[in-house]
Amino acid sequence: MGKDEEHKEVPFPAYAKFLVGGVSGMVASYAVHPMDFLKTRLQMSGSGGQKKMYSGPLDALSKITKAEGVMAVFNGGTACIGRQIIYATCRLGIYTTLLGMAQKGDEPPGFAIKAGCGMASGLIAGFFATPMDLCIIRMISDGAKPPDKQFKYHHVVNCLMRIGKEEGGIHGLYRGAFPTTCRAMVVNGSVLATYSQAKEFLMGIGQKEGLGLHSCASIIAGAVTAIVSLPVDIIKTRIQASKGAGNPLVIVGGIIKNEGPFAFWKGLSPYFVRLAPMTILTFIFVEKFTYWYHIYVLGNKNPKSNL
């Protein structure tokens, strides 16, 4: 066997891209779930013409822990894990696969292609993860309702079964599928493409591959994504929080009329505080797990990132 053939890099298998994406997403998402909890509660505050419950993130945290207990911020945690099994596995696995297909030689794809790959992966992942996303919103928002209006779900399986039984089967489970899928497209098109582009730019000005590079690129991607995707996230949350059918245009009109246009960025600080570490942790785990798989499973000595 020749020297070049002996050290030839083994291609990263497609199934491993999905596995790495799913595990990375689950670990990162559960770690920042309390911030997602606060973001959702703030988005629901003042909806439906009701009085605002919280003046900000700290006020929300204080009132929620006092009324519902310290562990209330982990309500919906089982649904969070279930969502990532579907969502993170699909979005990161599909994105890295499409990105690899789009690359010509050593020349990385342009930003538009990266964004297109991100939106395509988000569309597929967001649609199939809609039932789990619905469960997260229901379980998080439940404690903020009057006792007679609460669903009182025990866990994610109970939530899925009851929604399916009480709200029209598959149709009920896919309530809010359109805004959920739109949000996933916006989030993935911005976060994945921005991360890849920011990483490429930072490496071009001399930053080396490693934790610092991954963290800087993740923060840039998280900031861009938070601003761009929050309005769609709020509309999705309002639709999924109740049993009633929600028309996105009616909800948009109601928010502008009753709460003002800046209400579309309600909860921006916890959303970014949640999204930034979520983005950082996800990409760090993806990069590390990919590196370890190359080294310890495939035996590659100089592995390249998939992102």
pLDDT (mean) for 134-145:
86
Say if residue 4's pLDDT is above 60.
Answer: no
- Given a contact cutoff of 8 angstroms between Cβ atoms, the answer to whether 18 and 93 are in contact is yes
pLDDT, tens digit, 9 for 90 and up, residues 145-170? 888 888 889 889 999 999 999 998 99
pLDDT (tens digit, 9 = 90+) per residue, 186-230?
999 999 999 999 999 999 998 888 889 999 999 999 999 989 988
Beta bridge partners of residue 141, listed in sequence order: none
Place of tokens 């959303």: 271
Which pair of tokens denotes residue 274?
Answer: 């949640």
Q: Which residues are registered as beta bridge partners of 285? A: none
Instruction: For residue 123, give Cα distances in angstroms to 119, 197, 270, 276, 280.
Output: 6, 21, 25, 22, 22
Contacts 24+ apart (CB under 8 A), 131-134: 131/160, 131/163, 131/173, 131/174, 132/79, 132/82, 132/83, 132/86, 132/87, 132/156, 133/83, 133/87, 133/176, 133/180, 133/236, 133/240, 134/163, 134/173, 134/174, 134/175, 134/176, 134/180, 134/240
- Of 2-6, 9-13, 82-86, 216-220, the least confident: 2-6
pLDDT band at 286 (very low <50, low <70, confident <90, very high): very high
Whole-angstrom distance, CA of residue 34 vs CA of residue 132: 17
* Ramachandran region, residue 260 (left: φ > 0; alpha: ψ -120 to 50; beta: rest): left
- Give residue 273's pLDDT: 76
Q: What is the pLDDT of residue 247?
A: 76
Residue 272 has a CB neighbour count (10 Å cut-off) of 20
pLDDT higher than threshold 50 for residue 41: yes
Confidence of residue 49 (pLDDT cuts 50, 70, 90): low
Q: Write the pLDDT tens digit of every residue in 75-119.
A: 888 888 999 999 999 999 999 999 988 888 778 889 999 999 999
* Average pLDDT of the chain to the nearest whole number: 87
pLDDT at 1: 45
Architecture of domain 11-298: Alpha/alpha barrel (1.50)
Q: Is the per-residue pLDDT at 248 higher than 90?
A: no
* Residue 47 predicted with pLDDT over 90: no
Closest CA to 283 of 221, 201, 204: 221
Mean pLDDT confidence for 16-23: 93
pLDDT > 90: percent of the chain: 41
Q: Which residue has the higher pLDDT, 66 or 105?
A: 66
* Residue 146, burial from CB neighbour count under 10 angstroms (0-12, 13-18, 19+): exposed
Nearest Cα to Cα of residue 265 among 50, 42, 41, 54: 42
At CB < 8 A and 24+ separation, what contacts does 205-214 make? 209/305, 211/284, 214/280, 214/283, 214/284, 214/287
pLDDT higher than threshold 90 for residue 3: no
Nearest to 78 by CA among 18, 17, 153, 128: 153
Q: Which residues pair with 107 in a beta bridge?
A: 104
Per-domain residue ranges of the chain: 11-298
- In angstroms, what is the C-alpha Rg of the chain? 20
Contact (Cβ atoms closer than 8 angstroms) between residue 267 and residue 5: no
Q: What is the pLDDT of residue 103?
A: 84
Is a pLDDT exceeding 80 seen at residue 246? no
With contact defined as beta carbons under 8 Å apart, do 284 and 215 qualify?
Answer: yes
Q: Is residue 305 very low, low, confident or very high in pLDDT (cuts 50, 70, 90)?
A: confident
